[in-house]
């Protein structure tokens, strides 16, 4: 790649905490951080960047608000999409061409041509586009994203894809109107009907709150005469309500489900998994490049769990 003489990469890092080797500030994270930082510089150079700016201790880490910038990213399945840097879910496709190795693997191993795919919490559309690529023209993808700015990018990224339908709505347990918390494009993955625990821990400022239209997935599927084969569910702690609003669809059609789990004051993910296990599902996780059976835990940090019903007719023994 020919370097762009005007391009520059800006990095912000806590160099004291991250790289101090001796003394009271010595970091146990040194070994983990160093290769990641080196990797970022290598990726930037691979994209033709030759100028680097390192912001050192220029702000309090809990009050810094990064400047958002839209850039083009190309996914590994050759789809181009607009993303907003430095939002975390944008950095991954921009540098590596994918988001979430676990959920990406779930889709690659279980989504097939002709399927109907539901993307709940679509954000700017990475999984929407991947699913559309996998189901091919004979299948369909239905994506839900309530945040206006994020939905605008979702529309742009999916424009001209006839097998994708996008909705600026939220899913819930019933038809209603609820307050939605929007933290801006820099933190769009935290936008939610519930206050995300990271917002409180990192003291991220609320950009705006507004009302959004909500509906249960059962109602949507009934109105559109859909039989979903796969549901990707990532709704920042709203998952328990969405699952309850999908109870009929789950019992009737037994779709494969990729479920984000993450415990906070408003959610016990074990309850959500138990709800699906009571419907006959088996739970799987992604570890060290493999999909393996998952054993229920009392508490969950952030991860994604794959749930497959035996009646789907395809086990995971060979995966």
| Assigned token pair, 50 | 């030759």
User: Among 143, 139, 93, 137, which residue's Cα sits nearest to residue 123?
Assistant: 143
The DSSP H or E segment spanning 73 is strand 69-74
Q: What angle do CA 146, 147, 153 make, to 5 degrees?
A: 105
Side-chain-side CA neighbours of residue 101 (13 Å): 7
Q: Phi and psi of 8, rounded to 5°?
A: -145, 150
User: Among 229, 9, 210, which residue's Cα sits nearest to residue 114?
Assistant: 229
Structure confidence by residue, pLDDT tens digits, 165-184:
999 999 999 999 998 888 77
Q: Which residues pair with 290 in a beta bridge?
A: 287
Position 49 scores a pLDDT of 73
Q: How far apart are alpha carbons 167 and 148 in whole angstroms?
A: 11
Position 313 scores a pLDDT of 56
Structure confidence by residue, pLDDT tens digits, 185-205:
777 777 777 665 555 655 667
Q: Which residues of the chain, if any, have pLDDT below 50?
A: 14-30, 56-64, 315-319
Q: How many CB atoms lie within 10 A of CB 80?
A: 10
Average pLDDT score over the chain? 83
Q: What domains can you pick out in the chain, each with its CATH number?
A: 8-56 (no CATH), 99-312 (3.40.50.150)
181 three-state secondary structure: strand
Contact 148, 185 (CB under 8 A): no
Contact 106, 119 (CB under 8 A): no
Establish whether the linkage from the previous residue to 86 is cis, with ω within 30° of 0: yes
């Amino acid at each position: 790649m020919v370097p762009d003489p005007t391009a520059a990469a800006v990095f912000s890092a806590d160099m004291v905490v991250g790289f101090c080797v001796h003394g009271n500030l010595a970091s146990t994270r040194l070994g983990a951080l160093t290769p990641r930082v080196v990797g970022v510089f290598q990726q930037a150079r691979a994209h033709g960047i030759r100028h680097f700016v390192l912001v050192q201790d220029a702000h309090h880490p809990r009050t810094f608000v990064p400047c958002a910038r839209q850039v083009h990213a190309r996914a590994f399945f050759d789809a181009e999409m607009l993303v907003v840097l430095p939002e975390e879910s944008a950095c991954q496709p921009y540098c590596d061409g994918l988001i979430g190795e676990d959920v990406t693997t779930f889709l690659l191993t279980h989504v097939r041509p002709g399927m109907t795919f539901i993307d709940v919490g679509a954000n700017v559309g990475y999984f929407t586009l991947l699913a559309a690529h996998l189901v091919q023209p004979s299948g369909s993808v239905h994506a839900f994203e309530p945040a206006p700015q994020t939905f605008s990018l979702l529309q742009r990224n999916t424009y001209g894809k006839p097998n994708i339908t996008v909705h600026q709505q939220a899913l819930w347990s019933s038809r209603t109107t609820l307050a939605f918390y929007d933290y801006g494009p820099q933190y769009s993955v935290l936008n939610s009907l519930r206050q995300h625990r990271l917002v409180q821990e990192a003291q991220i400022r609320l950009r705006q709150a507004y009302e959004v239209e909500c509906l249960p997935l059962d109602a949507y599927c009934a109105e559109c005469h859909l039989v979903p084969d796969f549901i990707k569910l990532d709704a920042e702690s709203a998952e328990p309500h969405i699952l309850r609003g999908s109870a009929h669809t789950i019992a009737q059609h037994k779709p494969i489900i990729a479920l984000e789990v993450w415990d906070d004051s408003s959610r016990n993910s074990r309850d959500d998994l138990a709800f699906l296990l009571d419907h006959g599902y088996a739970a799987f996780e992604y570890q060290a490049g493999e999909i393996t059976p998952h054993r229920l835990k009392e508490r969950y940090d952030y991860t994604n769990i794959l749930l497959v019903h035996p009646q789907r007719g395809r086990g995971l023994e060979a995966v």
